[in-house]
């Protein structure tokens, strides 16, 4: 069963034929919201609102470990994450969709591993390629099918938040090779890898990153872009699920 994690702008999955709302106990506390189990595009799915419903949990306080653990326990075999991001690369304008192939983690202080505490042995995971290539290819096929303009590659910079970045920080991220910037890509991707859950990201650019526009970043503009873009995201998710 595919799990869909919705970020900012996707706290509900319109069109989901809900069969069950699940509160799954985990060793790490409560997930951000109950897991919604149902049918979407003719497929059984799990849906989780990353920031809760209503949108209330900031990126640095999301219980990523509980979220991923609960999804696996509920039967998820793979995860598609939807992330709202800022655009750094000139191709990543507002409204653009990106399926990133790499990420750089700039967060700190987050509970970022299941291999913690009193362990019998140390465990390292191979994280050379943080996103599952097969899932990425399926996402790209769904984007093509829906006639969307998108980037099939990109480097996601994950920052701590909840504040937005300074213009100087964006210059640094660009120098590091980053194309988009968000606050929720990590440790989510690494935790999925630790649980052996194939994981891919569909990123919607909702604003130019700091210093990439002459205008100040407005939350009203971000919310407007989210409103315009999430309908396209849902159509892509439906096409992906229908093709599985």
* CA–CA gap between residue 27 and residue 91 (Å, rounded): 42
Question: Which residue, among 185, 132, 198, 193, has the nearest Cα to 157 in the 3D structure?
Answer: 185
Confirm whether residue 63 is marked as ligand binding. Answer: no
Confirm whether residue 157 is marked as ligand binding. Answer: no
Q: Where would I find the beta strands (DSSP E) of 62-179?
A: 78-87, 97-98, 102-105, 150-151, 155-158
Confirm whether residue 186 is marked as ligand binding. Answer: no
Question: Which residue, among 50, 61, 161, 69, has the nearest Cα to 113 in the 3D structure?
Answer: 69
Confirm whether residue 214 is marked as ligand binding. Answer: no
Confirm whether residue 207 is marked as ligand binding. Answer: yes
Confirm whether residue 208 is marked as ligand binding. Answer: yes
Confirm whether residue 209 is marked as ligand binding. Answer: yes
Confirm whether residue 39 is marked as ligand binding. Answer: no
Give the DSSP per-residue string, 80-112.
Answer: EEEEEEEE-STT--TT-EE--SEEEE---SS--
Residues making up the binding site for substrate? 183, 207-209
Residues making up the binding site for phosphate? 8, 50-51, 184
Residues making up the binding site? 8, 50-51, 183-184, 207-209
């Amino acid at each position: 069963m595919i799990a869909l994690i919705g970020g900012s702008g996707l706290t509900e999955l319109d069109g989901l034929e809900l069969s069950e709302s699940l509160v799954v106990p985990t060793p790490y506390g409560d997930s951000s919201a109950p897991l919604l189990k149902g049918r979407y595009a003719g497929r059984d799915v799990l849906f989780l609102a990353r920031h809760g419903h209503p949108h209330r949990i900031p990126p640095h306080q999301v219980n990523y470990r509980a979220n991923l653990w609960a999804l696996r326990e509920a039967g998820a075999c793979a995860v598609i994450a939807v992330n709202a991001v800022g655009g750094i690369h000139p191709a990543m304008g507002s409204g653009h969709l990106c399926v990133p192939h790499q990420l750089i983690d700039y967060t700190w202080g987050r509970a970022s591993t299941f291999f913690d505490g009193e362990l019998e042995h140390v465990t390292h995971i191979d994280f050379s390629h943080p996103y599952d290539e097969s899932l990425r290819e399926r996402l790209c096929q769904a984007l093509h099918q829906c006639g969307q303009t998108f980037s099939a590659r990109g480097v996601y910079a994950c920052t701590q938040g909840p504040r937005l970045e300074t213009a100087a920080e964006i210059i640094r991220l660009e120098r590091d090779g980053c194309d988009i910037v968000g606050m929720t890509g990590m440790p989510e991707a690494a935790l999925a890898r630790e649980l052996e859950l194939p994981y891919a990201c569909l990123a919607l650019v909702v604003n130019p990153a700091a210093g990439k526009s002459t205008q100040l970043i407005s939350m009203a503009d971000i919310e407007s872009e989210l409103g315009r873009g999430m309908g396209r995201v849902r159509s892509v998710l439906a096409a992906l699920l229908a093709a599985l």
